[in-house]
Amino acid sequence: MADKNLIIYSASHAYTGGAAGHEGAYGIDENFSTYHGDEYSLGGGSWAGSASKTIISEHTFSRPLTVNSIKYRIYAQGYSGGPDGGRNVQYLMYVQYKVSGGEYQDLPNSRFSYNGDPGGTITKDTGEVTFSTPINNVVAIKAYCYVYSSTTEGGISGHAYIYEIEAFGQPYDDIGIRFYKGAAVYKIGVEPLLSTHKLRIRKGSTTYGIPLLATTDALASPIRIYDGSAVKSLPLVD
């Protein structure tokens, strides 16, 4: 069983920005062609002014998890017309992660920025990037994109898109619980114990909780158990 996209399976979500039809979940739909983002196009002629867009996609896990890989695509484009010395375009993009007890820090090689006069249009597209070094005890993932442009005379435009942010790993821990059905071997996952866990198992001096999943869950095992109100499944782990 392959790693799951933890952002979809195990996270709560918070978003900043995003135009109608391009908001929020379009940046975590496992489609690198759709996006969470927004844009602007203003001015022309003798118009003077500025505009900006900030797009954030932030995802918090229910507990610290090991993230084995992260995939993302972020795009920024800014334009400023007008005379030399009167144009400015800026962009900033990055992916960050937070470990338990820590602050956000950049995912290596994910930060890109520009601040200057491109004499027209400046574009940065990260393309589809995969970062494959495991990171332990991750509690949150964030993607950020900002674009700004200004002119003393002319038109401006800007685009800020988070096409996708994904983080892959195992939602549950493997402590060695196995279920055998014929030739098939199923690994049963556990979590650090919470008061809400109705099913528990002790290994050595540690008690773990076994979450009970809907039988239709993507990680539901063949083992069924009645929790007092419904039939549930024990979770699988790879």
Task: Give the chain's end-to-end CA distance (angstroms, integer).
Answer: 5
H helices then E strands: how many in the chain?
1, 18
Q: What token pair was written down for 134?
A: 């495991």
Supply the pLDDT for residue 238: 82
Would you call 11 exposed, middle or buried from its count of C-beta atoms within 10 A (0-12, 13-18, 19+)?
A: buried
Q: Give dist(CA 149, CA 235) in Å, integer.
A: 50
Instruction: Pick the closest to residue 120 from 85, 145, 156 (CA basis).
Output: 156
**The listed CATH number (2.60.120.260, 3.40.50.300, 1.20.1050.10, 2.40.50.140) that belongs to domain 4-169:** 2.60.120.260
**What DSSP assignment string belongs to 47-84?**
--EEEEEEEEEEEEEEEEEEEEEEEEEEEEEEEE-SST
| The residue count for the chain | 238
Amino acid 1: pLDDT: 55
> CA 36, CA 56: separation in Å to the nearest integer?
8
For residue 163, how many C-alpha atoms fall within 13 Å in the half-sphere facing its CB?
A: 16
Distance CA 68, CA 58 (A): 18
CB atoms < 10 A from the CB of 185, how many? 9
User: How crowded is residue 38: how many other Cβ atoms within 10 Å of its Cβ?
Assistant: 20
Please give the angle made by the CA atoms of 189, 190 and 194, to the nearest 5 degrees. Answer: 155
Low-confidence ranges of the chain (pLDDT < 70): 1
Distance (Å, whole) CA 32 – CA 71: 10
Record the tokens describing residue 35, joined without a space. 């996006």
Note the pLDDT of residue 169. 96
Confidence at residue 134, expressed as pLDDT on a 0 to 100 scale: 96
* Domain ranges, ordered by start, for the chain: 4-169, 173-235
